[in-house]
Structure 1
Amino acid sequence: MTSRDMVIGIAFLIQTVTGILANIVLLFHYLFLYFTGYKFRPSDLIAEHLNVANTLIMLSKGISQTVQAFGIQYFSPGNRCSFVLYIYRVARGVSVSATCLLSVFQTIKISPINSIWQDLKVKLSKRIGFFTFLSWILHILVNCIFPFYSVMKYSSKNITKRKYFAHCFSGSQDKTAELLYAAFVLFPEVSFSGLMIWSSGSMIFILHRHKQQVQHIRRTNESHKSSPVSRATQNVLVLVCTFVSFYTLSSFFYVCSINLNVPSWWLINTSDLISTLFPTVSPFVLMSCNSTAARLWFRLLNVFRSR
């Protein structure tokens, strides 16, 4: 193993361990609330599904790319690689849709009383559970396209046109299948990203207008105090901006990879690192507005430090 492989392997290991631990801490927090009879708010329910999806991303792609970075032969020909890719794509799709749903819901939630969204606010709150469940079902079904893709290891001989994607080689694919994949997977992700950008702009505008109105009716020393709704909205904004930034970078590197017959080493590994940055960072953003989960995380860190 060369020094550059060791460096990238350590980077993958740190990212994967941090992401898995943070997501599991947050997941245990939600489970504890559930078993203690806590009544989840709609935004909590969305964040819970986002956390589950991000945990699956780190357990599938995070672990696989880490062991591959250290040169460990992890994949058997075709089957295991296809399964890991399938889990990753389903979890990624749910993560995208959950982040979009959270941003749109928060935008509608903070909209003024005389807004056109008021009727939708009550209806959407009652149907959050249905939308999150539907998201899982749709992505499980849509991503069944993966078994129809020929995914093989580097040592495979029966490849006429192959491209390297860190863990697997993919052979030449049917154009119809590629078009269906773009229509049912890529187009929704781009559309959700557009909705997130719109909702982020709307939240910024609503918060700015609210701040201007408050300044006229409150004293100066009180006008700077953020309400719980404002803090929650700011956290959602940070979460959405983080997602859009990492998703744009990840998409850029992915497009570069698929347009090269043999992508360079740094391009492949940089793309993999960026693709799992959001599920690594997002639990910390969610913890920032949840003191109980944050305390649980710091206790876990203290346990590791004491050892």
Structure 2
Amino acid sequence: MDLCVTIKGVSFLVQTGVGILGNAVVLLAYTQIIYAERKLLPVDMILCHLAFANLMLLLTRCIPQTMTVFGMRDLLSDPGCKVVIYAYRIGRALSVCVTCMLSVFQALTVAPAGARLSRLKPALPSLVLPTFAGLWFLNMAICIAAPFFSMAPRNGTVPAFTLNLGFCHVDFRDHLSYVINGVAVSGRDFAFVALMLGSSGYILLLLHRHSHRVRGLRRSHGGAETRAAKTVLTLVVLYVVFFGIDNAIWIYMLTVAKVSPVVADMRVFFSSCYASLSPYFIISSNNKVKAKVVCAAEQEPPSEDTQPSSDK
């Protein structure tokens, strides 16, 4: 196997394994928290949904991509490609939308008393589920075109205006469809990223203005809000960095008729980095999740010497 192909395959394999493990751990930790406490705070509900969206992205994109890199062919039929590509598009869209939602809700949470935004605080728990539903319907509608253009790879050359994903082709047939799809997806992403950056800037401004007051409340609920705000800001910065790389490659792909598989692989790798790395920031910064993970790691099965023996 060519060295370049080996490096690419190992990179995808490590990214996929690390990402699936991290997001699965976050979901299992929140499952235990729900079982113990019977409820979650709005921010915890959003983080749980973010882990689900990232896991969905990794399962539907990185696993078939890794298998293709290692030479496996004919993984999916036409219907299979339509389902997988549609699920991947929704998972990717939810990743950016839920991260934006996390930033906005955290900005509302840390808004000082008396501010207009603070009036929404009591309504936050009741707004989480309707917002989730709205984001799902929005992205299912925007991504609905993807299944119509998705198909299993055909023998021969790749037609113009086709995204060659290796395991599937997304054939837009003409330049107009290609550009319209790209503009719709990019427009949605840039809108949510702009809202994400705006709310994150507001959080930074509040933390700067009230740094002395927050220091005095470190051991109180205000300290918990500050730690949560810093976690959100870290996730936003992480997303924006990989979003920038992803969209720089995407804009290049919109300018050429035939996209090289190497370019498509690079975009997949960088666009999936956030889904792979973000759960570890959640685990390290969220005390509830960290406690569940540490507790599970410390639990050991009883040895044979400590097991009670039965009477014969």
Q: TM-score range with shorter-chain normalisation? A: 0.7 to 0.9
Query: One-letter code of the match for 2:85?
Result: L
Which stretch of the first structure deviates more once superposed, 239-248 or 69-78?
69-78
Q: Report the identity percentage.
A: 27
Q: Distance in 2 between matches of 1:66 and 1:150?
A: 19
Unpaired runs of 5+ in structure 1?
A: none
Structure 1 counterpart SS, 2:116: coil
Structure 1 counterpart SS, 2:164: strand
Aligned-pair CA distance for 1:156:
5.1
Does residue 283 in structure 1 map to residue 279 in structure 2?
yes
Query: One-letter code of the match for 2:170?
Result: S
TM-score by length of 2: 0.84
Unpaired runs of 5+ in structure 2?
A: 301-312
- 8 Å contact from structure 2 (residues 146, 170) kept in 1: no
Structure 1 counterpart SS, 2:285: coil
**230, 236, 248: which one aligns with 1:234:** 230
- 8 Å contact from structure 1 (residues 163, 261) kept in 2: no
- Matched with 2:289 is 293
Q: Distance in 1 between matches of 2:166 and 2:235?
A: 28
- Matched with 2:6 is 6
Query: One-letter code of the match for 2:5?
Result: D
Cα 1:163–1:134, aligned 2, differ >3 Å: closer, same or farther? closer
Aligned-pair CA distance for 1:14:
0.5
CA-to-aligned-CA distance 1:190-241 (integer Å, 9 cap, x gap): 10000111111111110011114567xx69xx89xx8111111000000011
Aligned-pair CA distance for 1:129:
1.3
Q: After superposition, where does 1:57-68 map in structure 2 within 5 Å? A: 57-68=57-68
Does residue 254 in structure 1 map to residue 250 in structure 2?
yes
Q: Distance in 2 between matches of 1:162 and 1:92?
A: 20
Does residue 268 in structure 1 map to residue 264 in structure 2?
yes
- 8 Å contact from structure 2 (residues 60, 88) kept in 1: yes
Cα 1:10–1:267, aligned 2, differ >3 Å: closer, same or farther? same
- 8 Å contact from structure 1 (residues 242, 278) kept in 2: yes
Q: Distance in 2 between matches of 1:57 and 1:194?
A: 22
Query: One-letter code of the match for 2:50?
Result: L
- 8 Å contact from structure 1 (residues 46, 102) kept in 2: yes
Aligned-pair CA distance for 1:46:
0.9
Q: What value does the CA root-mean-square deviation take over the aligned residues? A: 2.9
CA-to-aligned-CA distance 1:131-165 (integer Å, 9 cap, x gap): 11221233233322112215341525694654534
Aligned-pair CA distance for 1:264:
4.3
Q: After superposition, where does 1:129-168 map in structure 2 within 5 Å? A: 129-155=129-155, 159=159, 162-168=162-168
Structure 2 counterpart SS, 1:71: coil
- 8 Å contact from structure 1 (residues 27, 52) kept in 2: yes
TM-score by length of 1: 0.85
Q: Distance in 2 between matches of 1:296 and 1:213?
A: 31
Q: Distance in 2 between matches of 1:31 and 1:85?
A: 28
Q: Distance in 2 between matches of 1:269 and 1:160?
A: 18
Structure 2 counterpart SS, 1:117: helix
Query: One-letter code of the match for 2:11?
Result: A
Q: Distance in 2 between matches of 1:255 and 1:176?
A: 15
Which stretch of the first structure deviates more once superposed, 17-26 or 294-303?
294-303
The number of equivalent residue pairs is 297
**236, 242, 245: which one aligns with 2:241:** 245
- Matched with 1:22 is 22
